[in-house]
Amino acid sequence: MQLALATLSLRLIVVDASETFYNSATSIKGVQTPLLKHTPQPEEKRKIIGDTFMRVAEVEVQKLGLQPEDIFLVQGTLRPDLIESASHLASKGKADAIKTHHNDTELVRQLRDLGRVVEPLKDLHKDEVRILGTKLGLPDDLIWRQPFPGPGLAIRIICAEKPFLDDTFESTNELLDYLLFRGTPSPALDVKYKQHISNILQAHGISDLSKIAHGIHATLLPIKTVGVQGDARSYRYLCGLSGPRNWDSLLCLAQIIPQICHNVNRVVYLFGDEPVVGPVKDITPTLLTPDVISQIQEADDIVNKHLYEYGLVRTLSQVPCISFPVNFGVPGNRSIAIRTFITNDFMTGVVAKPGVEMPLECLDKMVDELQRVAGVSKVAYDLTCKPPGTTEWE
């Protein structure tokens, strides 16, 4: 990006504000947040990063001897950013905020109200931006590069200080066992869900789920990720599937499970020679510490290296690499997820099917290298469409 701007003869000032961001906080509805490095909350992380960006920019403006009222902030804000942030620019009524984008925090909105924010792409989706870039003659490596989140890898690190185990954990695991023919639920659960399950299977054209679920295990993982159910934000459990790599069956179950288990909004496949038999109740307490950041940087580099090796940057819209704190019995370890996503507008989308849109050879290379990263217990493949899962996990 720096080289692209340099070709336009723009004077570019690059600021390393990593320590400033790392040690920053902000105020949300009058309440001070913890420092970025101390908070596990995804919305706090996003708002701290967005507001800190504004403050860092203000400092640089002052260094240049410029007056704030003479400065305009130019942003590549897209329509999905505004929709998910519940901005009035995209929603006429009161919409639910799915997640706050760094370019639509309260400080940005204040500046926008003053007429000092320029956002030429705010009515466009990413596919339309790429069409525009092509018409403007921009180089392909800019037009087709993988979108990188404005808040950086901070939102690709799922932070938690303790396992998430609410009063639905046991009953949901019980329901998953029942669904995959591995357990008998309590009579109350059976009565409550039997017709519900039947209706959902019928809607998917499934007459015998036992054939689809054969050999596959499902268990809740004790963390939450951000999703969308209906038109509202959800912040709910992650479900892990393991066993045979029958991708048709796995993808089918990933569609069905959130519809039956409403406190699950994301389903992943867990690679490994042995199935994961739950319950899984342990995590490695995780915040944005240097070791965690270094680990996801290494993992992200591995994934992107193979995306370019196999020419997948055009066919796969986005491939986030996520660190999540489930250690699978190895204290101190974390796990890594690959989240493939195919979409036009980024409002809805599907996962890349291994063996079809995601070449198996490429996936095997990714998984093999990720499993050799120090401190990684498991590698997971996100099977979730949007909705119910957002593109990013936070």
pLDDT, tens digit, for every residue of 197-208? Answer: 888 999 999 988
Same domain, 232 and 283: yes
Same domain, 233 and 320: yes
Same domain, 326 and 394: yes
Same domain, 50 and 192: no
Spell out the SS3 assignment of the chain: CHHHHHCCCCCCCCCCCHHHHHCCCCEECCEECCCHHHCCCHHHHHHHHHHHHHHHHHHHHHHCCCCHHHCCEECCCCHHHHHHCCCCCCCCCCCCCCCCCHHHCHHHHHHHHCCCEECCCCCCCHHHHHHHHHHCCCCHHHHCCCCCCCCHHHHHECCECCCCCCCCHHHHHHHHHHHCCCCCCCHHHHHHHHHHHHHHHHHCCCCCHHHHHCCCEEEEEEEEEEEEECCEEEEEEEEEEECCCCHHHHHHHHHHHHHHCCCEEEEEEECCCCCCCCCCCCECCECCCHHHHHHHHHHHHHHHHHHHHCCCCCCCCECCEEEECECCCCCCCEEEEECCEECCCCCCEECCCECCCECHHHHHHHHHHHHCCCCEEEEEEECCCECCECCCCC
- Domain edge (last residue) among 124, 140, 164: 124
Same domain, 195 and 111: no
Is 103 a domain residue? Answer: yes
pLDDT at position 320: 96
Is 194 a domain residue? Answer: yes
Same domain, 275 and 364: yes
Same domain, 50 and 188: no
Same domain, 208 and 310: yes
CATH number at residue 293: 3.30.300.10
- Domain edge (last residue) among 107, 124, 141: 124
Domain count, the chain: 2
pLDDT at position 187: 67
- Domain edge (last residue) among 82, 109, 124: 124
Same domain, 75 and 166: no
pLDDT at position 152: 87
- The separation between the first and the last C-alpha atoms of the chain, rounded to the nearest angstrom, is 25
Amino acid at residue number 110 = Q
Is 135 a domain residue? Answer: no
pLDDT at position 98: 62
- Rounded CA-CA distance 42/143 in Å is 29
Same domain, 76 and 161: no
| Closest among 371, 287, 279, 351 to 22, alpha carbons compared | 287
Is 303 a domain residue? Answer: yes
pLDDT at position 139: 84
pLDDT at position 347: 81
pLDDT at position 237: 97
Is 138 a domain residue? Answer: no
Domain span including residue 110:
2-124
- Ranges of the chain whose pLDDT falls below 50: none
Place of tokens 């990013």: 392
Interior/surface letters 201-220, b for 16+ CB within 10 angstroms, e for the rest: beeeeeeebeebbeebbbbb
Same domain, 117 and 174: no
Is 38 a domain residue? Answer: yes
pLDDT at position 92: 55
pLDDT at position 75: 85
Report residue 77 as tokens. Answer: 């804000």
pLDDT at position 148: 79
pTM score, two decimals? 0.88
**β-strand pairing of 321-324 with 334-338:** antiparallel
Same domain, 119 and 250: no
Is 257 a domain residue? Answer: yes
Is 300 a domain residue? Answer: yes
